[in-house]
Amino acid sequence: MAEETAVHRTLDCIGLYCPEPLFQTREAIDSVEVGEVLEVFADDPAAEEDLTRFAKRTGHEVMSVEHDGDQLRVLMRRKK
């Protein structure tokens, strides 16, 4: 049975377009403790690439990326 990941903060970026989801994610990841998980919802077509590139560049972990129609759900763990 898959264990549900504990989410420490949820960020709703539905209806926001580049670069706003990236800016808000950058701010939000700094608001959680190292090891905690940020959940981001977005519907901007560029959000998946922007957020995964941001995580890689800053050393955070993208735990999952899920698509539900046009909506994207990203779970990102703060690593430092």
| Catalytic member of 9, 16, 18, 43 | 18
- Residues sharing a CB contact under 8 Å with residue 1, sequence separation 6 or more, in sequence order: none
Separation CA 17–CA 57 (nearest Å): 21
User: Catalytic residue at 18?
Assistant: yes
Euclidean distance between CA atoms 12 and 14, whole angstroms: 6
- Catalytic residue ranges: 18
